[in-house]
Amino acid sequence: MVNQESLVAWIEALQEVYAENKEYLTQLDSAIGDADHGINLDRGFTAVRRKLSETKCEDMSAVLKTASMTLISSVGGASGPLYGTFFLRASAVCANKTELAEADIVAMVEAGLEGILHRGKARPNDKTMVDALTPAVNAMKQALAAGSGVKEILEKGVEAAEQGMTDTIPMLAKKGRASYLGERSIGHQDPGATSSYLMLKTAANLWN
């Protein structure tokens, strides 16, 4: 089970992970984007962590809504709206809950992915964060159906997300700034898929 304290700990850990990987993510983005992905996520999650420390959230849904609104208001480019939408959709799954069971965690990530699909209009194989999150959700659902616990479900999701992230390297970008490069986008790992993988990996490291 994941409680509200665990949920906040995950978001605080994301701030640290994105700060540590700021240069790496920005380097990936410099090849096919605006060279700001790591900078934006570091700024956004620093703002989220500050906001959560100042805000008394009544429930788990409020934690994720606070994260969502802060990201949307403090992060430029595509990262703010997309990650903000992920957390907003995830918050609906947490409504009126004090703990998240295995099925809730899978539903939360799936809802977040659906929000990104709706907001960004990307599909699998477009070379975006969708290419990490889609196989992750599928793997998590399979693990849930097999009766796995939280740790194993997340580990299966992370494994699939990592593969999905790597699979973006030979892809031709069809969405976002990278799509302007045409065939020059081939051979580069997508920064959004990478940050999505890191998001799930952080949860797997914390929740068990």
**Which segments of the chain have a pLDDT < 50?**
none
Q: Is the pTM of this model over 0.85?
A: yes
- What's the confidence (pLDDT) of residue 180? 64
Is residue 91 classed as helix, strand or coil in its secondary structure?
Answer: helix
Reported as a single tens digit per residue, the pLDDT across 118-129 is 998 999 999 999
Domain that holds residue 59: 2-206
Task: Write b or e for each residue in 83-103: b if 16 or more Cβ atoms lie within 10 A of its Cβ, otherwise e.
Answer: bbbbbbbbbebbeebeebebe
- What's the confidence (pLDDT) of residue 77? 78
Q: What is the Cα Rg of the chain in Å? A: 16
Strand positions, DSSP E, 28-132: 99-100
Q: How many domains does the chain have?
A: 1
Reported as a single tens digit per residue, the pLDDT across 16-25 is 999 999 999 9
Q: Which of 132, 92, 85 is nearest to 108 (CA)?
A: 92
Question: Can you give the CATH number for the domain in which 44 is found?
Answer: 1.25.40.340
Residues 6+ apart with CB under 8 A from 148: 102, 156
- What's the confidence (pLDDT) of residue 168? 97
**Cross-strand partners of 99:** 3
